[in-house]
Each structure stands twice: as C-alpha cells, then as structure tokens.
C-alpha cells in the first residue's frame, strides 16, 4: 500500500539482477566488482548502482562484498550466489517486511504493533475460513484499514460532523465501531465471551483494552510465542476475533443499507443501492408549467433521418416529467420508453452499413443520444430537456448491468407501466448472465 506494487516489483527485480550477476562469470561481473571497489555504486547511477542503492533502502548491510548481506531479522548473512529459489524467497520476505514497517510508520493509529511473521502464518488461513465472499470481503477491509467511518468521511469533507451516525455518542472511528458503539452491542456480546476465552490461552496478551492498535482496530496479530502458534491456540483466538469483527460490520452494513447514515443524502450512494422502481408506479409529481419550445427547419445534413422521427422525438420529450429528485438515467432506458411511447422502433444510425437488421439495446440508446444531440442544435427557444449528458451513468448497476452513457437527471418516464415490465425482464437477463458464469454470484 505504501510503496506501490510497481515500485515493489522493480526493487525485487533489481536485487534478483544483482544475484544473477553473482552467479554469472564474465565481463559484467568484473565490471560490477570494479564499480564496487571504486565506490561508484553509492551514487545510485547505472543498473549496478541502482541495485546496490535498493539493497541499502531495504536496510541491508554489506558483510564482505556486494554478494553477501546482513538482512534485518536474520542472524546468518544472505548470500546472493546461493540457491536461486532460496534467494528469491528471502528477497520477497524482506520486501514484504519492509512494506509492513513503512505502513506502521505511516499509519500508527491502526497498525502499530503488527508482527509480519505472525500475520503471515495466521491471517490468510483465518480469512479463508469464512464461508461467504461477503464475509471475506468485509474482513479484508478491516485488515487493510479500509473501513469507511464517519470520522474519515468528515476529514475528507464528505460529512458535516464526525459523530457516530448510529449512536451519536462519540466520533466514529474503527475502535468505536468494533468495541464501543452501543448500536452493535448485540452483535458484539454474542462473540465477546469466546474472544476473551481464546485470548486467555495466550499468555503474552494483555487485557483487550491494552491490546496494540493493529489487533484492536484491524485484527492483525502482534508478536505471539511460537508454541501458541504451533499448538493452534493463536489461530483459534485470531479467527474468533475476526468472527466478532465481521458480525459487527455486517450489522452495520445492513443498518446503513436500510437508511444511509455514513453518507446521507448523496445521490450516488442512493442510486447504487437499488433501482428506483418507485418512480415507475403511483401518481406523477407536479413539475410546473413547461416552457415554450421552438425549433427551426433542419437542413438535410443537420437531421439525417425522416421528419416523422423528429416529431415523435419532440412529443416524447415533452411527455417526460422532470423533477429535482436525485438520480440519473441511461439512454438505454430512455430508448425503451421512446419506443413504447411512439409505438415504433428507433431507426438505424445514418452511418450504418446494414439497415435491415434489428438494433441491440445499446445501439438503440446510442441512436437516441445522437438524435437528441442533433435536435438540440435546432432549438431556437427553450430547451429539449434540463439534463446534461454524462459518460458513466450507474442506474442499471443495481440490476447487474454496466455503467452506460446517459443523463445526469432522472425523469419520470412517459410509459411507466411498460417500462416496469421491461426493467424486470432486464434485471432477470442480467441475473442470468451473471449466474451463468462460473464462480460469480453462484
């Protein structure tokens, strides 16, 4: 997280190149030795100098020469001319340990006290022990410190206050959610006796209120004696703690889905949660008087379709009801509504080579977008619609569809009953398309 994947890979290959140079006799090895003896490698220029500089960045100290290094946490020196697979393994371990150390320095509030060797043996088996991908995903977010809290949202200007939106007693951070928030008392107390019982079998652990931040806020293990790890007591404790954390975060997720609290009133969060079926039934809201709309007579190159299509398009646009409700709409949905209202199919695009074929749903949306854009250029008074075009509209994402081009405001459709039927069929199609893929939603 703190180094970046590409930088980590670059460091890995630089040191492996140095190891390859140790095992390969020839001019390059002689040149490397000459650079080392003249102390030119410390300038960090050239491939040899950059490789030596990378080793020093990792905290390695040369023992005899550039082929033998004292690495942190190891009593014996690392010989780069040794077994190739052993060297690769040691280099990877050292780079991962360096990543973790840098993470602790950058985010001590969450990761102080973490022990790399212990986490390597315990964390991944604990994650794999959960039954559903949702639980594993929640746990990965906890382990990586990626849980969205009210405090984090407030610090980024996304909330007006950092107070917990569920209990209102204190600023909501990771420790408050997992240990103190009264809203999750039931989920927490169901697992707390098991956590305390498992912790009692690890002598090195203090009471929970004195645990290091890595364990208390992220579920990452501190240093634990080897006998506890080998006997399985450490794994039992960590998995029990993870089970409690996941139960608390799942309860919070369900509550937030019912009534958004962390990001209240944001159009994007509301839009991504569910499709707005409520707009397809019930009475229409009052949108006020519509402005006068005047268009000039188009030239042939300005409107490449027949004129009845323009008349149907204008009638349909005037039949839409625009309100100030949040949300967006794709041109695919608008195309379905237009065809129901006009009782005709959308024509082909002017540049289409084959015009006797049936258009796909996405192509119909593209044609409608082109037609609305062309008609907009003909307006002399008023406006066709009050929205603007956006390239990524997420209104179909809750159904399992992709983000498509659309409008940044959502109207009430002209033929809502027919659209309700179409959307249900589209949702069924998307569900089938996803479940038909191995390993996805199955």
Report strand pairing: 78-79 vs 329-330.
unpaired
pLDDT for the residue 290 = 76
- Helices 84-106, 116-128: inter-axial angle, 10-degree rounding: 90
Please, which contacts does 118-122 make with residues 24 or more away whose CB atoms are closer than 8 Å?
118/221, 118/222, 118/223, 118/224, 118/229, 118/234, 119/220, 119/221, 120/96, 121/229, 122/221, 122/224, 122/229, 122/234, 122/235, 122/238
For 150, the token pair is 């009210």
How far, rounded to the nearest angstrom, does the alpha carbon of residue 228 sit from its chain's CA centroid? Answer: 35
The DSSP call for residue 171 is B
201, 179 Cβ separation under 8 angstroms: no
How far, rounded to the nearest angstrom, does the alpha carbon of residue 182 sit from its chain's CA centroid? Answer: 28
CA–CA separation, 180 and 168 (whole Å): 12
CA–CA separation, 136 and 124 (whole Å): 10
Going from the C-alpha of 192 to that of each of 125, 196, 248, 265, 391, the distances in angstroms are 21, 6, 11, 34, 48
The closest of 235, 262, 241 to 159, measured between CA atoms, is 262
Question: Environment class of residue 225 by beta-carbon count within 10 Å: exposed (0-12), middle (13-18) or buried (19+)?
Answer: middle
pLDDT for the residue 287 = 67
Q: What is the pLDDT along the chain (442 residues), one digit of tens a residue?
A: 434 555 778 888 888 888 888 888 888 778 877 777 776 666 656 788 888 888 888 778 888 788 788 877 777 777 888 888 888 888 888 888 888 888 888 899 999 998 887 888 899 999 999 988 889 999 999 999 989 899 998 888 778 889 999 888 899 999 999 999 999 999 999 999 999 999 999 988 889 999 999 999 999 989 898 899 999 999 999 999 999 999 999 999 888 876 667 766 544 444 445 788 888 887 777 667 777 888 889 888 889 999 999 999 999 999 999 877 778 899 999 999 999 999 999 998 888 777 777 888 889 999 999 999 999 999 898 888 889 999 888 888 888 788 889 999 899 999 999 999 999 998 888 877 765 544 333 3
CA–CA separation, 40 and 87 (whole Å): 25
The DSSP call for residue 301 is T
pLDDT for the residue 120 = 83
pLDDT for the residue 397 = 83
DSSP SS3 for 321: strand
Q: How many CA atoms lie within 13 A of 363 on its CB side?
A: 13
pTM > 0.85: no
H and E: helices and strands count for the chain: 19, 10
79, 39 Cβ separation under 8 angstroms: no
CB atoms within 10 A of CB 272: 12
């Amino acid at each position: 997280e703190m180094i970046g994947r590409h930088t980590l890979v670059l460091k890995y290959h630089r040191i492996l190149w140095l190891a390859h140079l140790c095992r390969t006799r020839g001019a390059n090895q002689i040149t490397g030795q000459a650079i080392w003896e003249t102390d030119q490698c410390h300038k960090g220029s050239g491939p040899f100098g950059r490789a030596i500089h990378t080793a020093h960045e990792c905290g390695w100290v040369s023992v005899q020469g550039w082929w033998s290094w004292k690495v942190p946490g190891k009593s014996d020196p690392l010989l780069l001319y040794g077994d190739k697979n052993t060297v690769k393994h040691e280099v990877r371990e050292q780079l991962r340990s360096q990543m973790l150390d840098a993470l602790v320095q950058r985010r001590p509030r969450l990761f102080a006290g973490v022990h790399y060797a212990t986490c390597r043996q315990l964390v991944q088996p604990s994650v794999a022990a959960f039954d559903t991908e949702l639980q594993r995903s929640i746990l990965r977010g906890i382990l990586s410190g990626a849980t969205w809290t009210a405090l984090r949202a407030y610090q980024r200007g996304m909330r007006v206050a950092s107070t917990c939106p569920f209990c209102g007693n204190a600023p909501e951070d990771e420790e408050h959610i997992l240990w103190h928030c009264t809203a999750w008392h039931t989920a927490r107390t169901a697992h707390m006796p098991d956590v305390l019982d498992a912790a009692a079998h690890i002598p090195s652990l203090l009471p929970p209120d004195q645990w290091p931040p890595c364990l208390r806020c992220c579920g990452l293990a501190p240093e634990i004696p080897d006998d506890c790890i080998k006997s399985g007591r450490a794994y039992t404790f960590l998995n029990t703690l993870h089970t409690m954390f996941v139960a608390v975060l799942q309860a919070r997720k369900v509550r937030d889905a019912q009534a958004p609290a962390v990001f209240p009133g944001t159009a994007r969060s509301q839009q991504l949660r569910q499709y707005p079926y409520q707009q397809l039934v019930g009475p229409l809201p009052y949108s006020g008087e519509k402005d006068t709309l005047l268009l000039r007579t188009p030239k042939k190159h300005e409107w490449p379709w027949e004129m009845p299509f323009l008349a149907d398009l204008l009638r349909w646009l005037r039949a839409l009801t625009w309100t100030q409700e949040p949300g967006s709409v794709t041109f695919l949905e608008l195309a379905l509504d237009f065809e129901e209202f006009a009782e005709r199919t959308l024509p082909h695009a002017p540049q289409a080579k084959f015009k006797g074929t049936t258009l796909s749903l996405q192509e119909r949306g593209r044609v409608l977008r082109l037609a609305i854009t062309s008609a907009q250029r003909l307006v002399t008074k008023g406006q066709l619609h009050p929205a603007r075009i956006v390239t990524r509209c997420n209104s179909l994402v809750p159904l399992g569809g992709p983000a498509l081009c659309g409008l940044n405001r959502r109207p009430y459709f002209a033929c809502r009953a027919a659209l309700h039927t179409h959307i249900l069929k589209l949702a069924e199609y998307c569900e089938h398309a996803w479940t038909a893929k191995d390993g996805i939603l199955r």
